[in-house]
Structure 1
Amino acid sequence: MMKRDTVLSIFFLLIGFFIWFAIPYQIEDTGITVMGPRFFPKVLSIMLVVVSGLFLVQNILAGKKQGKEKEDKGEIKDIKSELNVLILFALMIAYVYLMPIWGFIISTIVVIGAVVYFLGTRKWYMYLIFIAIVLLVYYVFQELLYVQLP
């Protein structure tokens, strides 16, 4: 587990650096504003590098604490948890395809409702909260930011 986490943190660290250095070649700077089209991708790449670096340091320090203890290689993977990940991934793919057909509000409520139900939440007020958040996001984008959502 520790080795996999270390490799993943290094991988995402490299991806963050790659994004940072690829931005000038992929996104043209208009020079109109201080925060141009490159700003948000740069912020995301910085966040990716920082989080990956912290995760790498955490893994290295945890590895030193554990010493030379080896992990149990005979560990049986939990197939149910892997199946759950695949089902959630399928729901996200369905969301991408339902968005243009049903629109933002209906597709988001249906897919988030399915995800929340699938994850085991049965409290009725949780469903009201996410419906209210979906409607709030729609209102903010449509009425305040003047951004059209499907």
Structure 2
Amino acid sequence: MALSLAASLSRCGTFSAPDIACSYVYWIQSSPPDVGVSTRNALSIGRQLPVDWHLKYTDKEKESVHQEVLSNVKQLNYGSLSNGCLMRISPLAIFSLNAPIERVREMVHADCSLTHCEEDCVEAVFSYVMAIRELLNGKNGAVCCSSNTV
């Protein structure tokens, strides 16, 4: 999923939740060997995406997939505190290296919401992204972990 996120960010040049949702759905439809229950619940939708979905799908079609995923999360993943949203997020930390913190928070929330709806998950992922950003900006681990920016 991390590669799917990185591909979407690279392809779009911006954070696009509908494009990322399609990337994740296409990934799960490729039958990866190890998928958590919450991730499978969220990304299993009622249609098969074509191999070239990123070329064929209109913004409206991508948004439709996005909304179906969000609906799955609300219906099936309430209360889930699993780590699926954390395991894939590293590319967003790199992509958002120079973004304002509030924009980072928005992107983290939008990405997490594609599989998890619990605020604890979002906060954990946000802290992780901020820690990676601090490390990439040259701070050492001790400073990073005690920083008030997280």
Q: TM-score, normalised by structure 2?
A: 0.28
Q: Which has the larger radius of gyration?
A: 1
Higher helix share: 1
Which of structures 1 and 2 has the larger relative contact order (alpha carbons within 8 angstroms, sep 6+)?
2
